[in-house]
Amino acid sequence: MLPLAASSKLLASVATLASCAVTRNCRNRQIKLDGDEMKSNSYKKEEVLALAKKAYEEGDADFEIDPGTCALLVIDMQDEFVKPGWTPYWVPEATEQVPRIKTLIDHCRLRNIPIIFTAFANTHHYLDRPKTGASMPNRYHQLGDGDPSWFKEGKIWHELTPWQNDIVIYKPSYGAFYDTPLETILKRLQKDTVIICGTLTNYCCGTTARQAYERGFKVVFGSDVTATDDPSTQEPELKVLRKGFARVLSLSQILTELK
């Protein structure tokens, strides 16, 4: 017969082993339950593709638009892109959209929504550009050096001439936030929402939308007040923005939201 102390230790050991066994069983059961749950929540290829397709085509970001916290960004509506035939970088659809963009600008002025224009110009002897930019195919090297007056002044198209109280930012690359004071300006204005119009949809406008999103701004992207140099790329870019970066709205929808 075991002494009382030894018997107590033995009982304690048995209790510990039993507890461990229960714990292991519980863990195994939990793993099994988790596995069952995972299995019950598994998705078929057709389901996930359908979810993505719906978000690309019909997605609508779940945030409200308060006119009091909005700023309008008019991206690169400058002569080089808008003036018919002046440069090989002319975007014909941007020219066609001038009346719609002007309507948006005028409406924002009536609502006291700040208007910020961006443009490319001769800043810092062009040393502020991304180093590999000059090697990109969109420079159309086959055409030679081009006119030295292009992208020198950054003049906004005359039908959209900025007013005295508007802001013009000369940017060195596609996105309006890259190496510019735009974020600081928006914060000083206490604006948390940007409405984007201009050109090109899939370059400067789209990049600006992504940069704004990454900085915590709500992004409203105009589907018919942005233009690209290849119409076939407009909708694919809108789909990407719609799914993950912005509320993509038509001009009429934007005007309704701003009332």
- DSSP-assigned letter for residue 251: H
Q: For a pLDDT cut of 90, what percent of the chain falls above it?
A: 83
Tokens found for residue 25: 């069983």
Cross-strand partners of 115: 72
On the question of pLDDT at 241 being above 90, the answer is yes
pLDDT per residue over 186-217, tens digit each? 999 999 999 999 999 999 999 999 999 999 99
Residue 41's pLDDT is: 81
- 175/86 Cα distance (integer angstroms): 24
**Strands 247-249 vs 167-170: parallel, antiparallel or unpaired:** unpaired
All structural domains of the chain, each given as residue ranges with its CATH number in brackets, are 67-257 (3.40.50.850)
